[in-house]
């Protein structure tokens, strides 16, 4: 006589379901943490790349600065390098090395400015040096979440200046030679997430 087949009791099924539910919750929690960690790492990597690119562009522009002043849209002469708290833009300069792979009829020098606007750092450049009229600059967003963007300038006497060109001695309204360049430019970036970053860029010569 065959023995009757024995199945699972209701209690055993409930225990099995409870164990499975606990294991599923633990597995989901672990997977969620892994995904969150991965997303955070990727975001930090993107942020690091953006900061490095912004600093690299600053370095390239500053280190290729040339003593070539320009005339603005009103025909007024402007220094080769201009910046500081008194300037409309924190840093404006004329740089060499503007690539021209298409052989366009333009100079290889470029007028560049850095502007902080609503927590974003923008790089501006003009297609011509001496504008002689209203020429709109072209803008590129370099970095967001920027609280402060400040520059200082090391003059020939190894004295730090907050503005460039620095005022002539004894006359706050008169500027020194507009073609003169500092020995180095110190850039200070204060980011919302990473705090303060300071870099020192020497000028050629």
| Residue 13 pLDDT level (bands cut at 50, 70, 90) | confident
Strand 110-117 versus strand 163-164 pairing type: unpaired
User: Among 7-16, 68-77, 92-101, 134-143, which stretch is predicted with the lowest mean pLDDT?
Assistant: 7-16
On whether the CB atoms of residues 121 and 145 are closer than 8 A, the answer is no
Supply the pLDDT for residue 101.
65
For residue 68, what is the domain's CATH number?
A: 3.10.610.10
Supply the pLDDT for residue 133.
74
Does residue 94 lie within any of the structural domains? yes
Best mean pLDDT range from 17-21, 39-43, 97-101, 183-187:
183-187
- Which residues span the domain enclosing 151? 58-202
| C-alpha–C-alpha distance, residues 138 and 130, integer Å | 15
Supply the pLDDT for residue 96.
92
Supply the pLDDT for residue 65.
95
| C-alpha–C-alpha distance, residues 147 and 88, integer Å | 17
pLDDT at 123 over 90: yes
Residues 6+ apart with CB under 8 A from 107: 98, 128, 129
Does residue 86 lie within any of the structural domains? yes
Domain count, the chain: 1
pLDDT digits (tens, 9 = 90+) for 166-188: 986 545 444 545 678 999 999 99
Does residue 38 lie within any of the structural domains? no
Supply the pLDDT for residue 20.
75
Supply the pLDDT for residue 26.
79
pLDDT at 5 over 60: no
- Determine phi and psi for 110, rounding to 5 degrees: -140, 135
Give the pLDDT mean for 129-133. Answer: 82
Does residue 28 lie within any of the structural domains? no
Does residue 37 lie within any of the structural domains? no
Does residue 25 lie within any of the structural domains? no
pLDDT digits (tens, 9 = 90+) for 68-103: 999 988 889 999 999 988 788 999 999 998 776 666
Does residue 115 lie within any of the structural domains? yes
Supply the pLDDT for residue 2.
58
User: Among 27-36, 44-53, 86-95, 179-188, which stretch is predicted with the lowest mean pLDDT?
Assistant: 27-36
This prediction has a pTM of 0.76
Does residue 45 lie within any of the structural domains? no
Supply the pLDDT for residue 174.
46
pLDDT at 107 over 70: yes
Supply the pLDDT for residue 160.
95
| C-alpha–C-alpha distance, residues 48 and 61, integer Å | 20
């Amino acid at each position: 006589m065959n023995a009757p087949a024995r199945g699972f009791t209701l209690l055993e099924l409930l225990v099995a379901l409870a164990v499975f539910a606990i294991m599923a919750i633990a597995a989901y929690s672990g997977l969620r943490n892994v995904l969150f960690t991965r997303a955070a790492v990727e975001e930090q990597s993107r942020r690091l790349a953006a900061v490095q690119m912004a600093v690299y562009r600053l370095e390239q522009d500053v280190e290729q600065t040339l003593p070539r002043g320009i005339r603005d849209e009103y025909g007024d002469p402007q220094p080769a390098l201009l910046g500081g708290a008194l300037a409309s833009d924190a840093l404006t300069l004329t740089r060499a090395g503007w690539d021209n792979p298409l052989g366009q009829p333009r100079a290889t020098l470029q007028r560049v400015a850095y502007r902080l606007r609503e927590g974003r750092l923008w790089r501006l450049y003009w297609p011509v040096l001496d504008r002689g009229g209203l020429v709109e600059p072209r803008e590129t967003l370099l970095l967001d979440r920027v609280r402060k963007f400040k520059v200082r300038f090391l003059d020939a006497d190894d004295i730090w200046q907050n503005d460039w060109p620095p005022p002539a001695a004894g006359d706050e309204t008169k500027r020194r030679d507009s073609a003169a360049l500092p020995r180095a430019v110190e850039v200070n970036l204060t980011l919302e997430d990473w705090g303060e970053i300071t870099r020192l860029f020497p000028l050629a010569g």
